[in-house]
């Protein structure tokens, strides 16, 4: 069985839903994971924000606007009135639920219920369309088998057991449809895997079902070797290792959610990135082996804060290290890069939520300098430690750009912290000097 995930743009209109239906309508066993139609999760998040502020009137207006959009979609999607009416009934039920939420005290529990409706609606629309065209499919509610534990991490034992049970209930069926992104938490409440979580859903289910392949379908032909929004001459990378793809996703490659790789890597299941609008394109294959001896791609992560913590020698160096890392761990504040010298710690993070609290707690022991508006640029490829040529070429290409940090990964990446204002110049320099050669 393959797992096929389609993002919001891939199912963003009646025409696109029909196109995806054609892509999945063959006899090959598959589990299809769908994101909400493009724009829906943003609209639902805006509704939730209105409700949290107590603006019931504004939220009601937005609910009505979104409901009208979906009713219009149902009218355009189906050729039989019977199918269209089934879809409209389901849409009205979902929006009746939203209207009911608007009439009671609003909390994070209600917020998650609101955010779940996009995936629940689009999967029913797809299921009904396939039935109308004579294609048999089974709609599997993700809320029955996608669950997180008390720490908010996927409960893989539960997912594996219950996803297999759900699929095995229909031994003669070939096409299964389910929702990405949404799940239940350890308390049994509706929850989600956060933005980009549909990729994560696909990878978790692929691992749970021992899929032959996990496919992520989006609106671009694979993962490109540089950011096409910044650099004009980019090309798709055809093969990446799990580690290379994970680094690129973490440091800004938008086509792939950072959490998606690990479940597939642990079960050694290939992940293929494909273009919905050009299904014949080869895309990018992510597996445990890839082309050796070359730089593969560059990614950039904006919104980074660079922090330099310099000891005032009021406590031993090892105590300062302990205080720094304990402070970040206690507040669950992730660090992207870190470098340590005799009496100085440099780090980069994009998590600002508790940063002021952390640095205030460290200020009695260290001089702290903070730089905002920074970017991490990560270069990924087969960068063996004993091969100096690639690393020399990479660093030499950035010789005219002031760098705040350099971090060497384990044979597949080297990362730099620099000013956001220098990002375009850095990406173009890397593209011309080593990535496209």
In this prediction, residue 387 carries a pLDDT of 60
In this prediction, residue 434 carries a pLDDT of 65
The mean predicted confidence, pLDDT, of the chain is: 91
- Please classify residue 369 by burial: count the beta carbons closer than 10 Å to its beta carbon, then call 0-12 exposed, 13-18 middle and 19+ buried: exposed
In this prediction, residue 318 carries a pLDDT of 78
**3-state secondary structure string across 273-301:** EEECCCCCCCCEEEECCCCCCCEEEEEEE
Distances (CA, A) of 415 to 209, 405, 418: 35, 8, 10
In sequence order, the 6+-apart residues with CB closer than 8 A to the CB of 64 are none
**Residue 386 pLDDT grade (very low, low, confident, very high; cuts 50, 70, 90):** low
SS3 state at 43: helix
Report whether pLDDT(149) > 80. Answer: yes
Token readout for 308 is 């330099």
In this prediction, residue 389 carries a pLDDT of 67
In this prediction, residue 250 carries a pLDDT of 87
CB 244 within 8 A of CB 265: no
SS3 state at 380: strand
**Residue 292 pLDDT grade (very low, low, confident, very high; cuts 50, 70, 90):** confident
φ, ψ for residue 236, nearest 5 deg: -70, 145
Q: pLDDT tens-digit profile of 236-250?
A: 999 999 999 999 988
**What DSSP string runs through 197-223?**
HHHHHHHHHHHHTT-SEEEEEESSSS-
Q: pLDDT tens-digit profile of 293-314?
A: 778 899 999 999 999 999 888 7
**In this predicted model, which residue has the larger pLDDT, 151 or 196?**
151
Report whether pLDDT(375) > 70. Answer: yes
Q: What is the DSSP letter of 321?
A: H
CB 382 within 8 A of CB 292: yes
φ, ψ for residue 3, nearest 5 deg: -110, 125
Residue 380 exposure: Cα atoms within 13 Å on the Cβ side: 29
CB 362 within 8 A of CB 410: no
φ, ψ for residue 154, nearest 5 deg: -55, 135
In sequence order, the 6+-apart residues with CB closer than 8 A to the CB of 402 are 418, 419, 422
Distances (CA, A) of 431 to 250, 285, 401: 20, 21, 15
CB 95 within 8 A of CB 67: yes
Report whether pLDDT(437) > 60. Answer: no
Nearest Cα neighbor of 304 from 348, 345, 346 is 348
In sequence order, the 6+-apart residues with CB closer than 8 A to the CB of 67 are 91, 92, 95
**Residue 394 pLDDT grade (very low, low, confident, very high; cuts 50, 70, 90):** confident
CB 308 within 8 A of CB 326: no
Sole residue written with tokens 């800004």: 252
- Please classify residue 371 by burial: count the beta carbons closer than 10 Å to its beta carbon, then call 0-12 exposed, 13-18 middle and 19+ buried: middle
φ, ψ for residue 8, nearest 5 deg: -60, -40
Residue 51 exposure: Cα atoms within 13 Å on the Cβ side: 29
In sequence order, the 6+-apart residues with CB closer than 8 A to the CB of 390 are 295, 381, 382, 383, 434
- Please classify residue 5 by burial: count the beta carbons closer than 10 Å to its beta carbon, then call 0-12 exposed, 13-18 middle and 19+ buried: buried
Q: pLDDT tens-digit profile of 321-355?
A: 889 999 999 999 999 999 888 788 999 999 999 99
**Residue 259 pLDDT grade (very low, low, confident, very high; cuts 50, 70, 90):** confident
**Residue 436 pLDDT grade (very low, low, confident, very high; cuts 50, 70, 90):** low
Nearest Cα neighbor of 206 from 33, 34, 37 is 33
In this prediction, residue 257 carries a pLDDT of 81
CB 267 within 8 A of CB 260: no
Percent of the chain with pLDDT over 70: 97
In sequence order, the 6+-apart residues with CB closer than 8 A to the CB of 53 are none
Report whether pLDDT(268) > 60. Answer: yes
């Amino acid at each position: 069985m393959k797992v096929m995930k389609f993002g919001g743009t891939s199912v963003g209109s009646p025409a696109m839903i029909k196109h995806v239906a054609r892509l999945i309508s063959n006899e090959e066993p598959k589990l299809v994971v769908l994101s909400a139609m493009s724009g829906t999760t943003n609209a639902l998040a805006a509704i939730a924000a209105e409700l949290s502020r107590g603006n019931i009137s504004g939220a009601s207006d937005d609910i009505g606007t979104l409901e009208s959009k979906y009713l219009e979609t149902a009218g355009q999607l189906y050729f039989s009135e019977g199918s269209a009416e089934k879809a409209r009934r389901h849409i009205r039920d979902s929006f009746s639920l939203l209207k009911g939420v608007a009439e009671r005290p609003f909390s994070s529990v209600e917020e998650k219920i609101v955010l779940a409706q996009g995936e629940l609606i689009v999967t029913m629309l797809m299921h009904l369309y396939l039935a109308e065209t004579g294609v048999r499919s089974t709609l599997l509610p993700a809320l029955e088998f996608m669950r997180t534990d008390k720490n908010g991490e996927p409960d893989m034992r539960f997912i594996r057991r219950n996803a297999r049970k759900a699929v095995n209930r229909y031994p003669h069926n070939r096409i299964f449809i389910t929702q990405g992104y949404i799940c239940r938490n350890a308390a049994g409440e509706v929850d989600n895997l956060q933005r980009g979580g549909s990729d994560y859903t696909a990878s978790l289910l692929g691992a749970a079902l021992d899929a032959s392949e996990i496919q992520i379908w989006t609106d671009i032909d694979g993962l490109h070797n540089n950011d096409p929004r910044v650099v004009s001459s980019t090309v798709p990378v055809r093969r990446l290792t799990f580690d290379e793809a994970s680094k690129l996703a973490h440091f800004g490659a938008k086509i792939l959610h950072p959490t998606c790789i690990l479940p597939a890597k642990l079960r050694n299941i290939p992940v293929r990135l494909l273009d919905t609008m050009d299904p014949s394109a080869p895309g990018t294959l992510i597996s445990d082996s890839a082309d050796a001896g070359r730089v593969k791609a560059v990614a950039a992560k904006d919104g980074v804060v660079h922090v330099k913590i310099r000891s005032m020698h009021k406590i031993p160096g090892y105590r300062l290290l302990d205080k720094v890392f304990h402070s970040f761990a206690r507040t669950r504040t992730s660090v992207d890069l870190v470098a340590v010298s005799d009496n100085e710690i440099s780090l980069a993070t994009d998590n600002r939520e508790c940063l002021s609290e952390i640095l205030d707690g460290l200020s009695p022991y260290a001089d702290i300098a903070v730089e905002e508006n920074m970017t991490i640029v990560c270069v990924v490829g087969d960068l063996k430690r004993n091969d100096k040529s690639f690393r020399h070429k990479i660093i030499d290409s950035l010789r005219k750009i002031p760098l705040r940090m350099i971090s060497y990964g384990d044979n597949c990446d080297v990362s730099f912290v620099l000013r956001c204002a220098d990002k375009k110049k850095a990406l173009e320099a890397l593209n011309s000097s080593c990535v496209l050669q």
